[in-house]
Chains A and B, each alone.
Chain A
Amino acid sequence: MEISIIRFPGTNCEVDTYNAVKKVLGITSKILSCKDTVIPKSDLIIIPGGFSYGDYLRSGAIAAREPIMSDLIKKAKNGVNILGICNGFQILTECNLLPGALLKNSTLKFISKITNIQITRNDTFFSKDYDKNQSVKIPVAHHDGNYFVDQETLRAIEENAQVAMRYAEPINGSLNNIAGLYNNSFNILGMMPHPERAIDNQTGSNDGIKLFQSMLKSMSL
């Protein structure tokens, strides 16, 4: 099982993500530089959280134009599974692998807390181990998590059941409380909550474990 993690300048969750994959799945992943032009064969590519390029210009905007992205987009179109967490989600919208955009939180403040999240479906690569509509606790930590998209696309997203997870209550102004989103082929998931920080009750929650286990199960099939 090959897992690659892409690091951009300013990424700051790559070690947490690497550790979570190691602890939960026992898999040693590869951390790649965004300056690489080819991503080695991978069953899963993770774009971790952080502040790529300091979130300057717009969160994720500069990262989305890095050399590694053309191979990422190619692999995405070929069905390789991609998980974008927080800044990773922002980067995925910036390179149009996911629709919409993540605007500044409606509070205009950074928000950091363990949040109640509802997992909408349990039949995707990323969600097999959860129950349908399961409520979980996962930390969020972001300034730009306010999901926005035009009404027509929003309708399409909802009709296709592409919403992967919702906040139990509004926290940042996201349309339809969207916290995580699939592309229409369901091989890409972007999510604002940090599952890599929810793998141990000692740190507040282990509800993220099932996300990693789901992915392993799907990869083993």
Chain B
Amino acid sequence: MPDKDIYQSHGINEDEKKLLLESLGREPTITEIGIFSVMWSEHCSYKSSRYWLKELHTSGKQVIQGPGENAGVVDIGDNQAVIFKMESHNHPSFIEPYQGAATGVGGIMRDVFTMGARPIALLNSLRFGEINHPKTKYLLSGVVSGIGGYGNCVGIPTISGETGFDISYNGNNLVNAMCVGLTTHDKIFYSKASGIGNPVVYVGAKTGRDGIHGATMASGEFDDESEKNRPTVQVGDPYAEKLLLEACLELMQEDAIVSIQDMGAAGLTSSSVEMADKGQVGIELNLDKIPTRQKNMTAYEMMLSESQERMLMVLTPEKTQLAKEVFEKWGVDFEIVGQITDTNNLVVKHKNKVEANIPITYLTDSAPIYKRDVSPRKQKQKSTAKINQNIDIKDTILKLLNSPNICSKKWIWEQYDRSIMANTLNPAGDDAGIVRIEGTKKAIAMSSDVNPKYCTADAKKGAKQAVAECWRNIISMGAEPLAITNCLNFGNPEKPEIMYDFVKTIEGITEASRELNFPVVSGNVSLYNETNGKPINNTPTIGGVGLINDISFLEKFGHMLEGDQVFLIGNKGKNLSCSAFEEVIMGRNTEDPPDVNLKTEKINGEIVKKLINDQLLSSCHDISDGGLIISICELLIKSNIGADINIANNGNILEELFAENQSRYIISVSSSNQDKMFEILNNASIQYHHLGNIKGNELKVNDKIVISLNELNEAFENLIPELMAS
């Protein structure tokens, strides 16, 4: 008989305990308590967020499968589809950075190949504490090696990402990993179980005692003792994943799989429950058959283990032998561990004893759902510090390029294999990564974005901006934006002001994705990102995917060339509020991030995409952190060339250079293409401004400010290598 505190130690509160006992009508076994605790955890049940997530915009002509499956599926024409999702692995990565990050990559990859797609690209979005915080170096180094160690070994290119630093992540870093896979329409696999009597098959690595209670751990806050949770972090084996991947994809060529689900958080429990729940059937597991790493594992341990690289499948009986042969060929464990039943219950047997017998709906539909209290947070005091108009502009530009959130992340991406599969088309550091689709003229552009500073200052505006920036980054590579996934990282949802921001974030994402026809097709929520009661900045990461129908234009696109003219698409910079300039140069944060006018965003983007696809531009880059001049600097550094830029003297030069107004791009165009470009711009009547031309090997602004390419490069490149070498 379970003692009184056992519920509490499983993260089940008093109300939930009451609900559990009432539903079951008897005392649960210890295995059943374990099963309830993980299925009702925030991580698996989305109990705080589910009510609001249904508001998201999830439809569109391009959508084949929206949220609710292992990953989202989007049509890219020619009977092909991309399958993608982003997921967080924040808590484990803070406790054990290498394994936490590695298994984050492994998990998201499985979500994609579970659905029948061969992974073709990985992305990530990382947030660490202040760059000089004593733990940052250790965490950054471990997380990056972990991501590389896993993806490189499986052989999937990591092609794009972003990394940011802020004090709010000092005790709680973020690791959001995204995977994109490719398949055909007739080879998409779902998790819905069916066929009474069909065998339930376990494939992949053996089950060990690692990761037990990972989902529960990931549903709580941290304190100073968090490191003692290290045993709840799973250990990744990318080699096992590679074999599992190949075996699964080979079997998917046969008509053998009824349904398939990877064992992620809450392992065997959540995979079996989700499959049965979707199919409205029962499932019976015989744990005697589970391949285990350790002897004498209990039912409780096997049901809660989060050992990696495992899958659960329902097969057609007649193809079971064939399936076994495929997995044996790849050296991957294959065991029939149960069957589909008509009871609608999860029945777990071990050593001739029924260890659990729970109606599935108790674990899913009847799981607690909370519409938590919301209330706006108190407005911070407005900063009254005045901007010094006589500030040294050269020094300001170099300081911004040398600041943690803007500087080059080469030290990071050089540890990721980006050339494997031989289809990565652009160099690292571009707005979006591009991967060509073998045997076609098509390519997929991918980007992940969020500005947590904006999202914390104003959750709705920030969320809109994150969606818009992701859209813009995909446009900047000439691609048609298709759909997004998201990873909503927040603090404790039981605090009304955090829940308020969460709700506003959903509103912002919904508004932007509807207006831009950029629907959400998959996603993940990570709450309780707090340490000692201090929440992280709101970080709703948006991962987007776009389609290039014909890559021909890329041959002459990507670099500014001598003699090119430089233009700004969009309006002139007007407001320094919430900008990198404010943070880095003035050391203050104000509360009013730039708003996105979604109509302007759409028009500007469509026109820029047309200019690129008509092969009129030599380069394009969106304007984001640091404003117009930083965007120009980044293009110059990439193109290894200088520019002569003139900013009209009648405006406020600091605002024109450093403001972060939205929906803007820097483009370069050769003199011979200018007239054609003007015609398109004027017909669309969108705002644009001539800024100067490309020449020499220094950046000149208004003839007065002169910065050599060397100085730009050093400022941009040196920060992280110097930190890591120190």
Asked whether any CB of chain B lies closer than 8 Å to the CB of A116, the reply is no
Stretch at the interface among B4-12, B76-84, B238-246: B238-246
**Contact at A110–B149, with CB atoms within 8 Å?**
yes
**Contact at A110–B148, with CB atoms within 8 Å?**
yes
The interface bits of chain A over 97-111 (1 if a CB of B lies within 8 angstroms of the residue's CB, else 0) are 000000000000111
**Contact at A112–B423, with CB atoms within 8 Å?**
no
**Contact at B419–A54, with CB atoms within 8 Å?**
no
CA distance A211 to B413 in the complex (A): 28
What is the minimal beta-carbon distance from B142 to any residue of chain A, in angstroms? 12
**Contact at B239–A16, with CB atoms within 8 Å?**
no
The interface bits of chain A over 167-205 (1 if a CB of B lies within 8 angstroms of the residue's CB, else 0) are 000000000000000000000000000101101111110
What residues of B have a CB within 8 angstroms of the CB of A15 in the complex? 421
Asked whether any CB of chain B lies closer than 8 Å to the CB of A113, the reply is yes
**Contact at A202–B243, with CB atoms within 8 Å?**
no
Chief secondary structure at chain A's binding surface: mixed
**Contact at B414–A202, with CB atoms within 8 Å?**
no
The interface bits of chain B over 236-260 (1 if a CB of A lies within 8 angstroms of the residue's CB, else 0) are 0111101100000000000000000
Instruction: Look across to chain B and name the residue whose beta carbon is closest to the beta carbon of A199.
Output: B422
Instruction: Look across to chain A and name the residue whose beta carbon is closest to the beta carbon of B158.
Output: A112
CA distance A196 to B423 in the complex (A): 11
What is the minimal beta-carbon distance from B346 to any residue of chain A, in angstroms? 34
**Contact at B152–A110, with CB atoms within 8 Å?**
yes
Instruction: Look across to chain B and name the residue whose beta carbon is closest to the beta carbon of A139.
Output: B419
**Contact at B152–A10, with CB atoms within 8 Å?**
no
What is the minimal beta-carbon distance from B607 to any residue of chain A, in angstroms? 26
Number of A residues with CB within 8 Å of any CB on chain B: 32
What residues of A have a CB within 8 angstroms of the CB of B414 in the complex? 109, 111-113
Asked whether any CB of chain B lies closer than 8 Å to the CB of A51, the reply is yes
Asked whether any CB of chain B lies closer than 8 Å to the CB of A19, the reply is yes
Instruction: Look across to chain B and name the residue whose beta carbon is closest to the beta carbon of A113.
Output: B414
Query: Contact partner of B420 among A12, A111, A143, CB < 8 A?
Result: A12
CA distance A12 to B238 in the complex (A): 12
Asked whether any CB of chain A lies closer than 8 Å to the CB of B153, the reply is yes
The interface bits of chain B over 413-443 (1 if a CB of A lies within 8 angstroms of the residue's CB, else 0) are 1111111111111010000000010100000
Instruction: Look across to chain A and name the residue whose beta carbon is closest to the beta carbon of B144.
Output: A109
| A13-B238 in contact given A111-B415, A141-B152, A202-B551 (Cβ < 8 Å) | no
**Contact at A110–B145, with CB atoms within 8 Å?**
yes
| A112-B417 in contact given A12-B242, A50-B155 (Cβ < 8 Å) | yes
Instruction: Look across to chain B and name the residue whose beta carbon is closest to the beta carbon of A201.
Output: B555
What residues of B have a CB within 8 angstroms of the CB of A139 in the complex? 419
What residues of B have a CB within 8 angstroms of the CB of A111 in the complex? 414-415
**Contact at A55–B419, with CB atoms within 8 Å?**
no
CA distance A19 to B439 in the complex (A): 11
Asked whether any CB of chain B lies closer than 8 Å to the CB of A125, the reply is no
**Contact at B419–A203, with CB atoms within 8 Å?**
yes
What residues of A have a CB within 8 angstroms of the CB of B421 in the complex? 15-16
Interface centre among B155, B330, B416, by most chain A C-beta atoms within 10 angstroms, is B155
Instruction: Look across to chain A and name the residue whose beta carbon is closest to the beta carbon of B141.
Output: A109
What residues of B have a CB within 8 angstroms of the CB of A202 in the complex? 425, 436, 551, 554-555
Number of B residues with CB within 8 Å of any CB on chain A: 34
| A12-B155 in contact given A109-B145, A110-B148 (Cβ < 8 Å) | yes
Interface residues in A1-29 by Cβ distance below 8 A to B read 9-10, 12-13, 15-16, 19-20
CA distance A113 to B412 in the complex (A): 12
What residues of B have a CB within 8 angstroms of the CB of A200 in the complex? 422
What is the minimal beta-carbon distance from B150 to any residue of chain A, in angstroms? 11
**Contact at A204–B419, with CB atoms within 8 Å?**
yes
CA distance A9 to B416 in the complex (A): 21
The interface bits of chain A over 14-53 (1 if a CB of B lies within 8 angstroms of the residue's CB, else 0) are 0110011000000000000000000000000000001101
Query: Contact partner of A203 among B238, B240, B242, B424, CB < 8 A?
Result: B424
**Contact at A54–B331, with CB atoms within 8 Å?**
no
| A204-B417 in contact given A109-B145, A141-B152 (Cβ < 8 Å) | no
**Contact at B418–A112, with CB atoms within 8 Å?**
yes
**Contact at B422–A51, with CB atoms within 8 Å?**
no
What is the minimal beta-carbon distance from A205 to any residue of chain B, in angstroms? 9
| A12-B239 in contact given A112-B418, A203-B424 (Cβ < 8 Å) | no
What residues of A have a CB within 8 angstroms of the CB of B413 in the complex? 112
CA distance A74 to B331 in the complex (A): 27
Query: Contact partner of B417 among A20, A55, A56, A110, CB < 8 A?
Result: A110
What residues of A have a CB within 8 angstroms of the CB of B419 in the complex? 112, 114, 139, 141, 194, 197, 203-204
**Contact at A141–B436, with CB atoms within 8 Å?**
no
Asked whether any CB of chain A lies closer than 8 Å to the CB of B536, the reply is no
CA distance A20 to B419 in the complex (A): 14
What is the minimal beta-carbon distance from A167 to any residue of chain B, in angstroms? 15
CA distance A20 to B422 in the complex (A): 9
What residues of A have a CB within 8 angstroms of the CB of B242 in the complex? 9-10, 12, 51
The interface bits of chain A over 199-221 (1 if a CB of B lies within 8 angstroms of the residue's CB, else 0) are 11111100000000000000000
CA distance A101 to B237 in the complex (A): 25
What is the minimal beta-carbon distance from A139 to any residue of chain B, in angstroms? 4
| A54-B239 in contact given A112-B414, A112-B418 (Cβ < 8 Å) | yes
7 more A-B residue pairs beyond the given contacts A13-B420, A110-B148, A112-B152, with a C-beta to C-beta distance below 8 A: A9-B331, A54-B237, A54-B239, A56-B239, A110-B149, A201-B555, A202-B436
- Chain B positions within 8 Å of A, measured between CB atoms, are 145, 148-149, 152-155, 237-240, 242-243, 330-331, 413-425, 427, 436, 438, 551, 554-555
25 cross-chain CB contacts under 8 A: A9-B239, A9-B243, A9-B331, A10-B153, A10-B239, A12-B153, A12-B154, A12-B242, A12-B420, A13-B420, A16-B421, A51-B153, A51-B239, A54-B238, A109-B414, A109-B415, A111-B415, A112-B416, A194-B419, A197-B422, A201-B555, A202-B554, A203-B419, A203-B436, A204-B419
8 closest Cβ pairs, A-B complex: A12-B155, A54-B239, A139-B419, A141-B417, A51-B153, A197-B419, A197-B422, A16-B422
